[in-house]
Amino acid sequence: MSTLSLPPALQSDLAALDQLIRLRLRSDIALVNTVSEYIIASGGKRLRPVLLMLMARALDSGQRCDAPGSGHVQLAAVVEFIHTATLLHDDVVDESALRRGRQTANAAFGNAASVLVGDFLYSRAFQMMVEVDRMRVMQVLSDATNIIAEGEVLQLMNCNDPDVDEGRYLQVIRYKTARLFEASARLGAILNDASPELEEAAAEYGRRIGTAFQLVDDILDYEGNPADIGKNVGDDLREGKPTLPLIYLMAHGSALERSLVRQAIEEGETAAFDQILAAVQQSGALRYARERAAQETEAAQAALAAFTPSPYTDALGAIAQSALARDR
């Protein structure tokens, strides 16, 4: 988020968020503190918390966000904890060794520690959401967490299946990735008792942004620089994940290209990665995936039309624009 210009109030919110995250990560168990500090030190865009806080301020007509106990920073920490817990579990399931340019927690501390600290983060998130003491907030976050878990299972079912189509692929994104973006933006509206129409517009914005970001993530696996994206290029193929560039190539490539992709997905190997990469680039698969991501960001921008213009809606619009331009 450092490349975006955020309103001064958001800068203050982010400072308060960092302080709260470190405070609420503390545990009497030394290993929890060690792994938690390792995760925090690895960085991250904090995009979901930023969406929540921007949306809360965009809809804040009574300066609630500046009042004690407003809840928007607390819930921003909650969604960051939930997101981080999913990353810890994801890296174990995917057997990943690199994230954000450094060893994953499971590579550094082992699978058991990663899973258990992920559980700690989930449970700490639920403790904190209860403190906000709003049933609607708990409903949105508990539903989102359950849907994310279903998305993880759907992705597991899709792995090593070369017959996954675009519909099944997008369903995983909407469950596994976009749902927490959607919940984050929706919570910003709920905290301000926004109308049902504004709440749905906020949710639509979050859902579309989340989908766009995942689409671009999957594109970068075929055109990114490892030093920029913080993981190894080709990891998705190694994990047997049929992402949109491969799905497009399976539908439009030659018989030989389809055969190479099918074998690579089924076996989860990257021996033919250079050939597949060349085919992906020549087939127009990356261009198509970027067009799909652009459609999502355009829909996100359209959703913002429901809100009164402000520096906060400007920042939300800038985030939508940055989704396509990023290289990490």
CATH of the domain at 207: 1.10.600.10
Listed in sequence order, the residues at least 6 apart from 196 whose beta carbon sits closer than 8 Å to its beta carbon are none
For residue 228, being part of any structural domain is answered with yes
Q: What is the pLDDT of residue 224?
A: 64
Percent of the chain with pLDDT over 70: 94
For residue 210, being part of any structural domain is answered with yes
Q: What is the pLDDT of residue 327?
A: 66
Evaluate if residue 40 carries a pLDDT over 80.
no
Q: Which domain holds residue 73?
A: 8-325
For residue 60, being part of any structural domain is answered with yes
Evaluate if residue 230 carries a pLDDT over 60.
no
Q: What is the pLDDT of residue 229?
A: 47
| Mean pLDDT along residues 264-268 | 91
What pairs with residue 102 in β-bridges? 99
For residue 3, being part of any structural domain is answered with no
Q: What is the pLDDT of residues 76-94, one digit of tens each?
A: 999 999 999 999 998 888 8
Query: Residues in the chain, how many?
Result: 328
Evaluate if residue 120 carries a pLDDT over 90.
yes
Residue 96 is encoded by which pair of tokens?
A: 């990943």
Number of domains in the chain: 1
Listed in sequence order, the residues at least 6 apart from 243 whose beta carbon sits closer than 8 Å to its beta carbon are 169, 218, 221, 236
Q: Which residue has the higher pLDDT, 108 or 219?
A: 219
| Mean pLDDT along residues 39-51 | 84
| Mean pLDDT along residues 3-19 | 88
Evaluate if residue 122 carries a pLDDT over 60.
yes
Evaluate if residue 1 carries a pLDDT over 80.
no
